[in-house]
Structure 1
Amino acid sequence: MLKKINSDRFLGRGPIKILYPGIGISDNDTGIGSIGRIDHPEIHGNTVISMHPHINDEILSYFRTGKAEHSDSEGFVKIIGKKTLMLMKAGSSFFHEEKIIGEGEPLEGLQIFIRPGKKDLKPEVVFLDLENLHSENSWRLFGSPNAETTFQFGSQTWLYDMKLLKGNEAQLPQLPKEKLTVLLYVFQGSVMVNGEIDLSKKDSLLIQDEPIGITASEDAELVLFVTDENGEIYKGGMYSGNQM
């Protein structure tokens, strides 16, 4: 099954656009498995997102341009952005603040709200310094439920990214097991899937039990969400949880 999710499905009129990927696909869940919500911020200038709570969310900050100063209730203060990514595992209670440093380029990226496997896990903050900003023409695994990655989710969730250069082709990476659900997200650029599905910036494609071929119509930055919908998932998170 292949189902396109158009960019006009995003909610919000400000600089942060919000996608609940399950809306329009499911009658009873705003998420897809452990993928609860995807935010795509584009923030120009200095901005403070003041201290606010998260409960039972796992939030991955994946900023591709710009930078922000992160501070939180666990005592961490760190500049994130571009090659420094962050995973916040909120558990029962967690507060954080972001100060957008608007000098030069705007802050643009994704904040990805993953559902934990269980309620009230221990709060934790993890940072990942990437060796390279992009992985060109090859999928890079940067989050999984296993110790093989610095970012370790509490649920059966895997995240990959890739910059597919114009004219190049790619398939899905070898997935860790069968019967997984995949969401392909176009962060920048445009691609053609199987020669007939055109995806541009902020479009995504739900993939279940289908082989696909991806061709870059122009340089494209792609993020791949993989979830086991049969795995244990807590759907009551403050932002990642089911909103219906």
Structure 2
Amino acid sequence: MKTILHKANTRGHANHGWLNSYHTFSFAQYYDPERLHFGVLRVLNDDTVSGSMGFGTHPHDNMEIISIPLSGDLEHQDSMGNKQVIRQGDVQVLSAGTGIYHSEKNFHKDKEVKFLQIWMFPNKKDVTPRYDQITLDADKKHNAWQQVLSPNADDEGVWVHQNAWFSMTKLDAGKSLDYQVKGKGNGLYYFILEGDVEVDGQKLGKRDGFGVWETELSKLTASTNAEVLLMEVPMN
């Protein structure tokens, strides 16, 4: 088993006033040659956006883009004609493929929106752009892994052009969960949303990231009530 630890206080940080963003991996003005990506996981941004503010229309291509609101509501518009509000408990995926334009802004004037912006390299280039969004059943992640993303359109959660699976859990203090790696050669990246946990002997706190690979099984134990996002991704 190989591991890598990214403590919350070592992340890149940019505060633009309307946007307060923490970068687990190199992004925009934050560059660390040791933190370019974890396998195909390229961007993990922890963003807080002020009321009515947001990202103006901008282009993407050949990237799988996943947004997970943690609190508040995010309004999405894109060049495919989609206009949606993504709320806490939703997961959104955008396959940029041959190229799209989109914008994201805080739907409300009077409160912040907090969300994770995640990018993955796709396993095929120049696909037809696509958009998908689902609402999760929050009860399914209580002391269990709830799958929220996979490579398969007929599986639970959204799907992506990549041999990747994302799962989330809300774990009571003292509870443990095992995770069996689904894709041969895949690695696991844990991102701790709330609370204190232990993963394969490593103690972790809020917003810490921890990568594990060259293993088939991983164990998560909650030291306090905790919420965790687990991203299983190809390492090559």
TM-score, with structure 1 as normaliser: 0.83
Please say if residues 85 and 107 of structure 2, whose CA atoms lie closer than 8 Å, have aligned partners that are also in contact: no
TM-score, with structure 2 as normaliser: 0.86
Match of 1:46 among 36, 49, 52: 52
Q: What is the letter of the counterpart of residue 207 of structure 2?
A: K
Please say if residues 187 and 211 of structure 2, whose CA atoms lie closer than 8 Å, have aligned partners that are also in contact: yes
Question: What is the CA deviation profile of residues 26-60 of structure 1, one whole-angstrom value per residue up to 9, with x for unaligned ones?
Answer: 86x81122211111112243313211111111111
Structure 2 distance, partners of 1:215, 1:158, is: 20
Structure 2 distance, partners of 1:133, 1:54, is: 34
Structure 2 distance, partners of 1:19, 1:222, is: 15
Please say if residues 59 and 113 of structure 1, whose CA atoms lie closer than 8 Å, have aligned partners that are also in contact: yes
Structure 2 distance, partners of 1:128, 1:37, is: 21
Counterpart residue number, 2:172: 165
Unaligned runs of at least 5 residues, structure 2: none
Q: 1:82 to 1:183 in 2, by over 3 A?
A: same
- More RCO (CA 8 Å, sep 6+): 1
Cα displacement (A) at 1:191: 0.9
Structure 1 distance, partners of 2:139, 2:79, is: 29
Counterpart residue number, 2:137: 131
Counterpart residue number, 1:12: 13
Please say if residues 83 and 133 of structure 1, whose CA atoms lie closer than 8 Å, have aligned partners that are also in contact: no
Please say if residues 163 and 183 of structure 2, whose CA atoms lie closer than 8 Å, have aligned partners that are also in contact: no
Q: 1:134 to 1:103 in 2, by over 3 A?
A: farther
Cα displacement (A) at 1:101: 2.6
Structure 2 distance, partners of 1:52, 1:137, is: 39
What is the percentage of aligned positions where both structures have the same residue?
A: 24
Q: CA RMSD in A?
A: 2.2
Structure 2 distance, partners of 1:36, 1:52, is: 18
Show the 5 A alignment for 1:28-107: 30-102=36-108, 105-107=111-113
Residues 1:156 and 2:126 are matched in the alignment: no
Q: What is the letter of the counterpart of residue 153 of structure 1?
A: V
Cα displacement (A) at 1:98: 1.4
Cα displacement (A) at 1:10: 1.8
Q: Secondary structure at the match of 1:113?
A: strand
Counterpart residue number, 2:4: 3
Q: Secondary structure at the match of 1:16?
A: strand
Structure 2 distance, partners of 1:146, 1:156, is: 9
Cα displacement (A) at 1:112: 0.9
Q: What is the letter of the counterpart of residue 197 of structure 1?
A: Q
Q: What is the letter of the counterpart of residue 5 of structure 2?
A: K
Counterpart residue number, 1:201: 206
Structure 2 distance, partners of 1:144, 1:9, is: 29
Counterpart residue number, 2:224: 218
Bigger fraction of residues in strand? 2
